Amino acid sequence: MIILGLESSCDDTAAAILGDNGGILASVISGQDSIHARFGGIVPELASRSHLQVISTVVDETLHRSGLGFENLDLVSVTQGPGLIGSLLVGFSYAKSLSYALDIPFVGVDHMAGHLLSAFLETAPPPFPYIALIVSGGTSALFRVDGFFDFSLLGRTRDDAAGEAFDKVARLLNLGYPGGPAVARCAEAGDPAAYRFPRAMLEDDSLDFSFSGLKTAVMSRYKNHGTEERKRAVPDLCAAFQQAVVDVLIEKTIAAATRQRIDAVVLGGGVSANSVLRHRLKERCMAENKYLFLPAPANCTDNAAMIAFAGMKKFESGTQGNLDDDVFSRSLLGQ
């Protein structure tokens, strides 16, 4: 079965083709960073307009790279939610139109399910059950995954997502957009021990996250410095902030795996591109006799290959979409 995956939930227009064995034949991602950079964050109207402008070209390019044509497609899998409604509607309407025109089925997929299953795009996929830490611009959540459709939410952020905290700190420190990579780069020149920021562990038994207090702490330390000092303090502030985020993410993930007596851990979402998080989680999992499954960075960030995979599994289970289905803005996965 040849599957076209489509993803347009936020600010990336992505398409991918999966072949018969679920292998990636082509994957194309068109980002919008240059459009949103001067606003310091995503402007929903500009995001949906840009999806509209590029989606046909992105699909054509993906087909071209795979060496296939529309006539070879057997299924369209598309992100149905959660995300920005205007952005979601572009990909979802495109998928429905294609399904109607080609007379092939389509399936709507929860974006989070895509992230949770993205490790299956790798040659050595994880065994069930596993613990998944999904950290992106819109989500920070811990799941127990017992099967392709069996997700239990163990903890989630009560305020800012981890990526959102990186983006907000970057804006505060005038480091540009997107903030995660900018803060991580700047942190390389800083000392993580220069400041001691709070680690919001919440109640002892909670697997929820909270990052807004940390962001406020960075802001007040920055503003306490004089103008000259502020510039010099930025690398240390970035390093100490990053350390605090990574500490909490790792502690909660290991606590989840230990409490659930699960040995396999999967990392996903855009923040998993962070090399300190990847490196330290790897070390910690080794020390705790846990097996870490790290998808390639391109499969961790928003992409359409994970949507195609999740859609393939959904279709195999006998589910398909209807032309009167609609998009949704909030994920109900695991709740």
Q: Which is nearer to ligand KG4, 41 or 129 (CB)?
A: 41
DSSP of 41-54: S--HHHHHHHHHHH
Nearer to ligand KG4, 235 or 269 (CB): 269
**Strand order across the beta sheet in which 24-31 lies:** 24-31, 12-18, 3-7, 75-81, 106-110
Compute the least distance from the CB of residue 177 to ligand KG4, in Å: 8
Measured CA to CA in angstroms, residue 167 lies from 18, 40, 174, 179 at distances of 32, 8, 10, 4
Determine the Cα angle at 283 with ends 143 and 24, to 5°: 55
Phi, psi of 42 (to 5 degrees): -80, 130
Beta bridge partners of 132: 143, 266
User: Quick one: 99 or 274, whose CB is closer to ligand KG4?
Assistant: 274
Between 75 and 167, CB nearer to ligand KG4: 167
Please report how close the Cβ of residue 1 comes to ligand KG4 at its closest, in angstroms: 27
Cβ proximity to ligand KG4: between 45 and 60 the closer is 45
Residue 117 Cβ vs ligand KG4, minimum distance, rounded to whole Å: 14
Q: Between 216 and 224, whose beta carbon lies closer to ligand KG4?
A: 216
Check the CA dihedral 71-75-80-82 and report its sign. negative
Smallest distance, ligand KG4 to C-beta of residue 220, A: 22
Name the residue nearer to ligand KG4 (CB basis): 75 or 172: 172
Half-sphere exposure of 147 (CA within 13 A, CB side): 5
Would you say 32 or 99 has its CB closer to ligand KG4? 32
The dihedral sign for the CA sequence 261, 267, 272, 275? positive
Minimum CB separation of residue 8 from ligand KG4 in Å reads 11
Residues 6+ apart with CB under 8 A from 144: 129, 130, 131, 132, 151, 152, 154, 256, 260, 262
Q: How far is the CB of 170 from ligand KG4 (least distance, A)?
A: 7
The number of CA neighbours under 13 Å toward the Cβ of 163 is: 24
Nearer to ligand KG4, 262 or 305 (CB): 305
Distance CA(123)–CA(302), nearest Å, equals: 19
In angstroms, give the least distance from the CB of 75 to ligand KG4: 24
Query: Least distance (Å) from ligand KG4 to the CB of residue 167?
Result: 5
Q: Cα(35)–Cα(97) distance, rounded to whole angstroms?
A: 27
Smallest distance from ligand KG4 to CB 12, Å = 7
DSSP annotation string for 167-200: HHHHHHTT--SSHHHHHHHHHTTS-TTSS-----
* Residues binding ligand KG4 (CB under 6 A): 10, 136-138, 163-164, 166-167, 178-181, 184, 269-271, 273-274, 301-302
Q: Nearest 5°: phi and psi at 267?
A: -110, 140
